[in-house]
Amino acid sequence: MIVLVVNCGSSSLKYQLVNMDNEEVMAKGLVEKIGLPDSQLTHKWNGQKKEIKQSIPDHKVAVKLVLDILTDAECGVIKSMDAIDAVGHRVVHGGEEFAASTLITDEVMKALEKCSAMAPLHNPPNIIGINACKAIMPGVPQVGVFDTAFHQTMPAKAFMYGLPYELYTEDHIRRYGFHGTSHRYVAGEVAKVMGVPVEKLRIINCHLGNGSSLAAIKYGKCVDTTMGFTPLAGVLMGTRCGDIDPAIVLNVMDNHNLSTKEMDTLMNKKSGVLGISGVSSDFRDLGEAAKEGNERAQLALDMFHYQVRKEIGAFAAAMGGVDVITFTAGVGENGIEDRAAIAEGLEYLGAKLDPQRNDVRGKDALISTDDSTVKMYVIPTNEEIMIARDTKEIVSKQ
Ligand code: AMP
């Protein structure tokens, strides 16, 4: 079975074509700046790369372009569009309606539209992507895989906020959590690497990238996570503030006469390690600036490492202990010094980092000492393969 994995952002479309007989990635690419003046497609296949710069006014044109290049005589990998058996879509918000991936039907589309109110930045482009694929590939089954689904096992004591109860029952305000597909993948993968069933492990997964979240995964089920009603909550991130006293929002809006949109931009785009350092949202830039003596860059890094470490402690308490701590995503997979700084002071928990083993990037690796009672691993995430696997499983059952 050949599955096309699609991840649509507001002006981008990432894709992967996966042969599910052997999970081989046949081709992948990115369409950028959809609807903007300098839109382009970057396509990679068989170790080769091609860039096409042309006008791409909307997602439908983007999907068409992707299908054209996948079937192109020179850089294509399939003869015709008919070779694609199914399409798997990343969908950011599935609300409480979706606790698992699902075949997209008209009913599902209606439910997705409802979820858009809760994720106005993320869900609409996902829906546009699904509609574009449905229009261009009618009859090809489409599957939705939700960032929120894995977290639906959280108990109410973890997902409820201390607000009037009606805000939950009527406005659906609660913790949803995000990066669920990544957390689910890493939990399964570390269990495989350790040779222990996931049902026997208490895992704290640290997904640390531009956006960061931690998840407490007890015996295969998510019991808590740091992101909340939106992906703005939790540890501070590249440009997002993470958890702050909610009264600050009112205070800053009043004092600076900001609209809700302006406040939203301040918290989502101008905060986090960028806001603290004034240097960059990129952890590599911050590391370099800190080494050159930039104190605010160092402060931003210190805050990030401290907050991640604090959440690890919180999740160990939430699960009554922890067996394994995993690091994934850009910073988690590559940030050797970041992992070392986070792990500093976790010895009390029984987690001891091995500096030699920690000198590793971008591959499955044990990074704790042999006598560390809590194991630590680097596990590169792979959300696309999860989407492709779910798509195959759901479509095979039809
Ligand atoms: P992601 O959102 O998962 O793509 O992660 C992006 C983040 O990973 C950026 O802040 C990058 O600076 C960071 N990153 C990538 N490589 C490294 C590295 N070698 N050391 C530290 N951070 C890195």
pLDDT, tens digit (0-9, with 9 covering 90-100), for 1-58: 999 999 998 889 999 999 999 999 999 999 999 999 999 999 999 999 999 999 999 9
Nearest ligand 1 atom, CA 381: 3
Q: What's the whole-number mean pLDDT along residues 109-115?
A: 92
Contacts of 301 by beta carbon, 8 Å cutoff, 6+ apart: 273, 283, 286, 287, 290, 338, 341
* pLDDT score of 122: 85
Contact (Cβ atoms closer than 8 angstroms) between residue 351 and residue 325: yes
23 contacts: CB under 8 Å, gap ≥ 6: 385, 388, 389
Please report, in range form, the residues annotated as the binding site.
7, 14, 90, 207-211, 282-284, 330-334, 383
Express each pLDDT in 215-267 by its tens digit. 999 999 999 999 999 999 999 999 999 999 999 999 999 999 999 999 999 99
Q: How far apart are CA 383 and CA 260, in angstroms?
A: 32
pLDDT tens by residue, 387-398: 999 999 999 998
Q: Which atom of ligand 1 is nearest to the CA of 286?
A: 12
Closest C-alpha to ligand 1, atom 20: 335
Q: Across the strands, what pairs with 5?
A: 16, 88
Measure 29 CA to ligand 1 centroid, in angstroms: 19
pTM of this prediction?
0.95
Ligand 1 site residues (CB inside 6 A) read: 209-210, 238, 282-284, 329-331, 334-335, 338
CA gap 391, 159 in Å, rounded? 28
Q: What is the mean pLDDT of residues 80-96?
A: 96
Q: Which domains does the chain have, with CATH numbers?
A: 2-146 (3.30.420.40), 196-378 (3.30.420.40)
Instruction: Quote the CA–CA distance of 238 and 330 in Å, as a whole number.
Output: 11
- pLDDT for the residue 119: 83
Question: Which element (helix H / strand E) includes 2?
Answer: strand 2-8
